[in-house]
Amino acid sequence: MIISGPAFAADTDALLRRFAAEPAGPELDPYQALLLDREELPDPELAGPRDPRATTQDLQIELAGRSLEARLHRSAAPRGPVLLWLHGGGFVGGHFRDIEYATSRFAALGNRTVVSLNYRLAPENPYPAGLDDVLDTLAWIRANLTDGPIAVGGQSAGAALAAGACLVARDNGLPMPAQQILCYPSLDLDQDTESYRLFDGTFLSIAPGRWSSAQYFPPDPPVGALPLRAHSLGGLPPALILAAGRDPLRDDARRYAERLIQDGVPARLVEYADTMHAFLNFPGVLSAGRHAVELIGAELRQCSE
């Protein structure tokens, strides 16, 4: 299914021009630049407001040998359905504060509790640290938050962690989420796809040899890191997959949806034409981002009823 809103292209073009016009910062080595980027707060004009219908609280999730920060948005009754959400950021950056428009509205529209997790990041914590955090947080949610269904979802690298957690759970006989929601997922490495050739450098580059990938991936990545390389996707939870039409990762989303369906897993692909990677991070100015949040919220509510 392709959704093409009348303002998607114009919104996206305006935002890309805005980013291109920003003055260049000082030349730094990649790690110094990453540390500065991690400290930058989201621009409220771009990120949009938190939904006031959802109550919000911060919590520390205590796991074996570590403590993780999470932000909880709640509109459902206690012990009701839960969504574990994972921000993007190339496995090296990102924060739950970047996506509060989406996560708070998922709670309000989907009538559930949303746990927005700050998983561990590379280079300090390369694979499989973030994936272990997702798997252990799912177990923590079952033990502490709900007796009901749990969905897992995320954006870009976060979507890769969500998909990887479902594969690892399946392959190791662990309880699986009831649903996976994958927004413009990064599911392979060094792709030579049509979308890479057309759109690499449109907000995001996935060119081989990039610094962030070298910090995160092991030399021979397993399928938990690269879900598209799994031999079979059979037996995984039903999936809602969102793609962006002007995203170098567009074809990851398309291929994963095709493979899920081929392997007997209910999957729905929704592609937002004429917009870019990370469009859910900028709902203040991207109508495609606002539309996608409403669509995901409606999907969550339907699965809660």
* Active-site residue list: 156, 247, 277
Confidence of residue 264 (pLDDT cuts 50, 70, 90): very high
pLDDT tens per residue, range 246-259:
999 999 999 999 99
For the stretch 17-33, pLDDT in tens is 999 998 887 788 999 99
What is the share, in percent, of the chain residues with pLDDT greater than 70?
99
pLDDT at 305: 58
Q: What pLDDT is recorded for position 304?
A: 65
Half-sphere exposure in the Cβ direction for 70 (13 Å, CA): 27
Mean pLDDT, the chain, rounded, equals 95
CB 305 within 8 A of CB 113: no
For helices 287-304 and 100-110, the axis angle rounded to 10 degrees is 30
Q: Which two tokens stand for residue 149?
A: 């269904």
pLDDT at 114: 97
Provide the pLDDT for residue 77.
Answer: 67
Q: Is-contact 152 134, C-beta < 8 A?
A: yes
Q: How many whole angstroms separate alpha carbon 16 and alpha carbon 13?
A: 5
pLDDT > 80? residue 125 = yes
Question: Using one digit for the tens of pLDDT, what is the confidence trace for 69-106?
Answer: 999 999 866 778 999 999 999 999 999 999 999 999 99
Q: What is the pLDDT of residue 76?
A: 67
Average pLDDT over residues 169-186: 97
Instruction: Determine if the pTM surpasses 0.75.
Output: yes
Domains within the chain, CATH numbers bracketed: 2-19+49-304 (3.40.50.1820)
- Confidence tier at 303 by pLDDT (50, 70, 90): confident
Question: So what's the pLDDT on residue 26?
Answer: 79
